[in-house]
Structure 1
């Protein structure tokens, strides 16, 4: 059985749907914090059990009969996230899983200005020491384009701190790739970079936005401290603004500049481009 955590969320919810194209629902279990939210999955034949990274007994019970477990990284900003991940990994090992997969991030490492990458690195260390086969799905960035780009549709500008090359991957592509790996005969041992064939910059987003809208969209570079001050003036807590700034700093230090063909190979097509993702934002 394949057990998927976070299946009521956007990323692993989509992964479950792609798994269903490859295996019957009786071969898929989901481990969720709120089983009542997963009732639609139970009604379709998936095994649903409560599991929390903060409850070792419950998470281990939810992993029973697992051959593979897909762990989504915790988004609990108030918790010791590395400890949560260790709890989940240890529970999967205790449940007898033969492979553990984890949604990591491209550029993972300890020597980086962007804090989540060190969390992923520590988690991958624990996976490597677990004694079972493991795969780290090092996804490119994904999420809300509005947060990344700001209100460009109304201002005609993408006004952000200086950036560097990075991959912005459509979450649907990341989910499809995860399902392909889970059902593959290949091992995919260790870290696997799931990124665009070529990295992009915010200038590329501005160019694509100009082409899509037929009007100029300019990339405006804002001084780091000025940008933080502007964010605070707009009601963003300073800690949050500086956390976001660290992502831009990491891009321009080259932490996300790599490319890899694996995502394209798994999808059997080109990943959705930034232009395609922008078009979805405009139409949505």
Structure 2
């Protein structure tokens, strides 16, 4: 049985949907903190069990019978994040999984300027030490983050952010399909994958131009200093530590950590990845 954690989140839910197009529902199990939120999957024949990365006993039950386990990284940073991933890895090993897949990120490195990438590197060390074959999915930076950073730029006519560098923004839907393909085609990659990225590396200057074309309204890119950006965030109630972590995205992009464009994702999909422009058009149609 293929076990997917975080199956009610943006990525995990789409991975399960993609798996359902490829394998019988009875071969899929999900581990979620709130099983009632996955009732739609249960109704379709997916095994739904409660599992929390902070409760090893719950994971033993949720991972029971696992042939493979997909560990979707938690939405946290720092020591607690790495600890929770380690608990999930140990649970997958104890359940007898013959392969563990983990949603890492391009740029994962102990020396990264971005805390999340340092956390992914630490989790990779836990995977290497676990004694079970693993695949670390070097996912491109989520394109939805670019959409969030744009905010209401179409209305204000400007996007105010620190100096950045090119980023290979990548759609959740594409990463979900690639993950499902790798779960079905077990063992295609041992260890870290190549970067799984969209087809372009874009700066926010580029994105402002794209937003202008999509909305038909001029969107100007305005550079804020790092301190100004931090103050913007803390002024809206964001904790200082979280503001510094978000700023790390821009520091890392300036260092070129997210600039690589790789064809592996397109190969796995059998098509070109979704563009950021297409995502912006879709988002605009929903607003």
TM bin, normalised by shorter chain, reads over 0.9
Distance 1:158 1:229, change over 3 A: same
**2:215 paired residue number:** 213
SS of the aligned residue for 1:100 comes to: strand
- Deviation at residue 186 of structure 1 after TM alignment: 4.8
SS of the aligned residue for 1:220 comes to: strand
**2:101 paired residue number:** 101
**1:84 paired residue number:** 84
Unaligned runs of 5+ in 1: none
SS of the aligned residue for 1:200 comes to: coil
- Asked whether the 8 Å contact 1:90–1:130 carries over to 2, the reply is yes
SS of the aligned residue for 2:227 comes to: helix
Unaligned runs of 5+ in 2: none
Matched, 1:150 2:155: no
Higher mean displacement: 188-197 or 84-93: 188-197
TM-score normalised by structure 1 residue count: 0.95
Higher mean displacement: 40-49 or 236-245: 236-245
- Asked whether the 8 Å contact 2:146–2:169 carries over to 1, the reply is no
- Alignment root-mean-square deviation, CA: 1.6
- Structure 2: distance between partners of 1:93 and 1:186: 16
**Partner residue of 1:262 out of 261, 264, 267:** 264
**1:67 paired residue number:** 67
Residue correspondence of structure 1 range 11-90 to structure 2 within 5 A: 11-76=11-76, 80-90=80-90
- Structure 1: distance between partners of 2:234 and 2:81: 26
**2:171 paired residue number:** 170
- Structure 1: distance between partners of 2:121 and 2:170: 20
How many aligned residue pairs are there? 284
- Structure 1: distance between partners of 2:116 and 2:186: 31
- Asked whether the 8 Å contact 1:26–1:47 carries over to 2, the reply is yes
- Deviation at residue 196 of structure 1 after TM alignment: 1.7
Residue correspondence of structure 1 range 101-250 to structure 2 within 5 A: 101-142=101-142, 143-192=144-193, 193-250=195-252
- Deviation at residue 168 of structure 1 after TM alignment: 1.4
- Deviation at residue 78 of structure 1 after TM alignment: 9.1
- Deviation per CA, 1:238-257: give whole Å up to 9, x if none: 33322211110110011111
- Deviation at residue 76 of structure 1 after TM alignment: 4.5
- Asked whether the 8 Å contact 2:105–2:140 carries over to 1, the reply is yes
